[in-house]
């Protein structure tokens, strides 16, 4: 199982109901479950709740995305961006250092 961390990019590759490796049924019926093809940035991970409010003990991780979407880890694969080239490094440097001050 992938070791998910906040900041990871995830691609949704599985939609709808499925049983994970622990035979737990994940219905995917929640309104905030992403569709296949969704790409999002993980902001937090937690244990998936069951319908009765208790914690699911199947071993899946619930990924919470910055847009409020949530999904269990087997629905996703990690997306690893290519390493930054010289242009990327320059843009990143401009965006992360010496912010310009603008009078409001």
Name the site residues for Zn ion (rule: CB under 5 A).
Answer: 20, 24, 58, 60
Instruction: Give min distance, CB of 66 to Zn ion, in A.
Output: 23
**Alpha carbon distance 25, 50 (integer Å):** 10
Instruction: Give min distance, CB of 50 to Zn ion, in A.
Output: 10
* Closer Cβ to Zn ion, 60 or 63, answer by number: 60
CB atoms within 10 A of CB 39: 12
Instruction: Give min distance, CB of 5 to Zn ion, in A.
Output: 19
**Alpha carbon distance 22, 19 (integer Å):** 7
């Amino acid at each position: 199982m992938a070791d998910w961390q906040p900041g990871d990019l995830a691609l949704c590759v599985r939609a709808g109901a499925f049983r994970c490796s622990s035979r737990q049924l994940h219905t995917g019926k929640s309104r905030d479950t992403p569709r296949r093809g969704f790409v999002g940035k993980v902001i937090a991970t937690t244990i998936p709740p069951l319908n009765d409010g208790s914690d699911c003990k199947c071993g899946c991780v619930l990924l919470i995305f910055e847009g409020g979407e949530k999904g269990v880890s087997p629905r996703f694969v990690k997306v690893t961006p290519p390493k930054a080239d010289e242009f990327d490094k320059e843009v990143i440097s401009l965006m992360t250092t010496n912010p310009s001050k603008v009078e409001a």
